[in-house]
């Protein structure tokens, strides 16, 4: 395959874009991020993966607000994610100013994926090495989308990106229920992260946020709530 991965625009003889596949592998090396659609809203729970004891844990962010009713989390190269998220935030505000309404989540996802796709067929560029989970409330209905480096997207009831993706996905298949509330899903995600991270798990590594259908407001879980959930899981 040597030679076919020198440029993003060159297909290998078996029809693969190797640079895009490398970008997908980059995502799998990122920290774990989980998104869940609940009966009363959308939940994001992620591992901040703080590897340096001198880093201020509160300064590390893995979940971002796009608009009041939309949030996102990422895995992979977070500097790539920052560019895409800031673009999405601007688009959401432009839509609000222009039409005086909230933007729908699918429009945000498509705009992100359009840029990702352009970077898979333009010489001199490289693919975005990041996957995003974008979720929120559309017309009183919680929705969750996953985008990958190719620029494709799918809607999910629950999804995971980053390291230990297969292991976490198998646990979601077994434990996830559509009737789950945000509180129940949060405890489930904490249990899953604890099992995956094992001895490395701590409340400082967890970043979590939710958007309730009734409120349509992006909110983050406080440290006290996370620590309480962790204690209940340990019982």
State residue 235's pLDDT score.
64
* Average model confidence (pLDDT) across the chain: 92
pTM: 0.93
Could you tell me if 148 and 81 are in contact, meaning their C-beta atoms sit under 8 angstroms apart? no
Could you tell me if 61 and 207 are in contact, meaning their C-beta atoms sit under 8 angstroms apart? yes
Can you name the CATH fold of 18-48+59-234? 3.60.20
State residue 83's pLDDT score.
96
Q: Distances in Å between the alpha carbon of 47 and those of 37, 44, 52, 120?
A: 18, 10, 14, 28
The tokens describing 103, both together, are: 């933007």
pLDDT tens track for 217-232: 999 998 888 888 888 8
State residue 9's pLDDT score.
84
Residues (pLDDT < 70) of the chain are 1-2, 234-235
């Amino acid at each position: 395959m040597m030679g076919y991965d020198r440029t993003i625009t060159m297909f290998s003889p078996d029809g693969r874009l190797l640079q895009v596949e490398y970008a997908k592998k980059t995502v799998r090396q990122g920290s774990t991020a989980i998104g869940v659609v609940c009966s009363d809203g959308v939940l994001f729970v992620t591992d901040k993966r703080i590897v340096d004891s001198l880093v201020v844990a509160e300064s590390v962010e893995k979940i971002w607000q796009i608009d009041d009713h939309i949030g996102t989390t990422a895995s992979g190269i977070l500097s790539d994610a920052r560019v895409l998220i800031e673009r999405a935030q601007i688009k959401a505000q432009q839509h609000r100013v222009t039409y005086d309404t909230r933007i729908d989540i699918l429009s945000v996802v498509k705009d992100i994926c359009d840029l990702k796709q352009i970077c898979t067929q333009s010489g001199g560029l490289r693919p975005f090495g990041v996957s995003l989970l974008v979720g929120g409330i559309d017309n009183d209905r919680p929705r969750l989308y996953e985008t990958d480096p190719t620029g494709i997207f799918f809607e999910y009831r629950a999804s995971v990106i980053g390291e230990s993706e297969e292991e976490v996905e198998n646990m979601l298949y077994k434990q996830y229920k559509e009737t789950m509330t945000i509180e129940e899903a949060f405890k489930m995600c904490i249990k899953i992260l604890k099992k995956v991270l094992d001895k490395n798990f701590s409340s400082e590594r967890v970043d979590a946020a939710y958007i309730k259908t009734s409120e349509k407001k992006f909110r983050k879980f406080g440290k006290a709530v996370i620590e309480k959930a962790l204690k209940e899981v340990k019982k």
